[in-house]
Chains A and B, each alone.
Chain A
Amino acid sequence: MRDIAIVAYHQSRAVADAGACNEVEMIMPVLNEVYGQVGINNAQDVDFVCSGSCDYMQGAAFAFVAGVDALGAVPPIKESHVEMDAAWALYESILKIRMGSAESALIYGFGKSSPGELPIVLSQQLDPYYLAPQWIDTVSLAAMQARLLLEQGVITERDMAAVVSRSRRNARQNPNAQLAGDISVDDVLAEETYLSPLRRVDCCPVSDGAAAMIICTEDKAREWGVPYALIRGIDHRIETHHIGMRDLTDSASTRLAAERAGVGDGPVDVAELYAPFSHQELILARALGLGEQTDINPSGGVLAGNLMMASGLARVGEVFNRIVAGEAQRGVAHATSGPCLQHNLVTVVEKA
């Protein structure tokens, strides 16, 4: 099977409110950045384009089509979209290249979460007969999950606070982070609970922004003459939409995806995990079998800034950045979708 190279990645700075900017205006600068990294003009210079976004965030049907206005799609291009995080657009693009239908692909994800009330908007992704009519928001569901973990003694509030403290500290080195700083474990524990047992700092912020990536065959990467990293494995698995039928203290789908992606086939120097809530990072690290030797979320992760519909792609991008910078040989990126880590995608990226 052909190895696939990541050759370019960029994300916009995560901000609480992108102001007057519309989605196209958020996407264009990010695309220009990745075009510049490989020395191409626009989407005409790749074989395939795939995006990830969610119309519910804009509150307009077919809103994702407006994103195409950022591409320069005249003459017509081969283009596709997933109503999911752009990590799944990466997955589709990899299939496209593996099938031999393309040599290169541009992937982008975008989300302007600030116009709506994100946790409520996301409640509408739940099963439409029982859960969505109850308007159960994502934070409440995550709080129930955290409660289970605490009551069963799987984790402690101190473990959760340690995740938050490390995220904020790591984010100080990340110019794209929305939340960064020094906050000790005791500082976190001293904060009031928000949706018990979660504190506000246990929850990712609501952010606006976009991310883009270019992938291609190894031959094409050599032709472009740019540094690259190789995608060695990728797999995604989903659990039932019946929350009550799932073991929320574990992530069976992540564990399975990790096995199929080959996470355990070598040491993991760095891992970027899409954990919108602190306790979920602990679940994920366990499901992925990560130990002391792995640097988890050196970017600060999504607790430092969550580009809804682009954060999963951004996790892959962060691992790519560290590998081409020579800081890591092999890394794992994780993306999630749905309530309480329902759907999970795992990517293994290695030094070329």
Chain B
Amino acid sequence: MADQQDTITGIDVPVYLKYNFTAGAGPARFLSQVKNGKLTGQRCPRCQQVYIPPRGSCAACGVATEEELVLPDKATVQSFTIVSIPIPNNPIKPPYIIANLVLDGANISFIHLMSECVNEDVRIGQRVQAVWKPEEEWDYSMDNIRYFKPLDEPDVPVAQIGKLPVSGWEGMSDA
């Protein structure tokens, strides 16, 4: 028997566990509407903030968000990053933009892609609109929106981002 043992630096112990994941009753109502091409937010009965996508509760107040309202597919850039390195298994070729967007009428941002834009011109406060996949491809997914593209509207001042009404920005900026 050898006096010297090889040093074991690692062992492979793969873990496979299967789950039947459920999004939740609130998120499921949202996803059902996304399949129909509708973006449905949910309003907190206490603080009145509108969440999209809803998670089942207002995280600030800890209460269920029952009231629903259909939101337009126009949004404002709250923040963004230009991705310059390839991400394994991601079909999108860099450089591309991931942005934190707030829909008109909503108070909380979600993350989506931006395209049809000059990357260097993208900025906080920029107005964007969803570019949808063809209707026959719609599923229970935010992927129904391919990406958001810039709108020819004036920028929203930082202090106003996340505070626009459902009716949007144009009316407000004219006033």
Contact = CB atoms under 8 A, between A and B. Distances in A.
Interface in B1-49: 11, 13, 15, 17-28
Contacts of A56: 17
A116 B60 contact: no
Interface string A97-141: 000000000000000101111001100100011001100000000
Interface string A131-175: 011000000000000000000000000000000000000000000
B20 A115 contact: yes
Contacts of A129: 11, 13
A270 B11 CA distance: 48
Interface stretch (A24-32, A183-191, A240-248, A280-288): A24-32
Given A20-B25, A25-B24, A25-B25, A59 B17 contact: yes
Contacts of B24: 20-25
A194 to B, nearest CB: 22
A44 to B, nearest CB: 9
Interface stretch (B51-59, B83-91, B140-148): B51-59
Contacts of B27: 22
Contact of A124 (B17, B20, B63): B17
A129 B10 CA distance: 10
A74 B59 contact: yes
Contacts of B60: 72-74
Contact of B18 (A25, A70, A117, A128): A117
B131 interface: no
Interface in A23-74: 23-25, 28, 31, 42-43, 56, 58-59, 66, 68-74
Contacts of A132: 13, 15
B8 to A, nearest CB: 10
A19 interface: yes
A282 B85 CA distance: 60
B55 A116 contact: no
Nearest to A121: B17
B125 to A, nearest CB: 25
A23 B11 CA distance: 34
Nearest to B20: A115
Interface string B68-87: 00000000000000000000
B19 A116 contact: yes
A23 B64 CA distance: 12
Contact of B57 (A20, A28, A112): A28
Nearest to A77: B62
B158 interface: no
B61 interface: yes
A129 B11 CA distance: 8
Interface in A269-286: none
Interface range for A: 20 to 34
Contacts of B22: 19-22, 112, 115
A20 B140 CA distance: 15
Given A21-B24, A72-B62, A133 B57 contact: no
Nearest to A22: B24
B18 A72 contact: no
Nearest to B60: A74
Nearest to B62: A72
A115 B18 CA distance: 8
A224 to B, nearest CB: 20
B30 to A, nearest CB: 12
Given A20-B25, A22-B22, A24-B24, A72 B61 contact: yes
A19 B21 CA distance: 10
A56 to B, nearest CB: 7
Nearest to B64: A28
A19 B24 CA distance: 8
Contacts of A22: 22-27, 55-56
23 contacts: A20-B22, A22-B22, A24-B24, A25-B26, A28-B56, A31-B62, A59-B19, A70-B62, A71-B62, A72-B60, A72-B61, A72-B63, A73-B60, A74-B60, A114-B20, A115-B22, A116-B17, A116-B18, A116-B20, A117-B17, A121-B17, A124-B15, A133-B13
Given A24-B55, A58-B19, A74-B61, 8 more contacts: A21-B24, A24-B24, A24-B56, A28-B62, A68-B59, A117-B17, A120-B17, A129-B11
Leading 9 A-B pairs by shortest Cβ distance: A22-B24, A72-B62, A74-B60, A59-B19, A69-B59, A115-B19, A20-B25, A24-B56, A25-B56
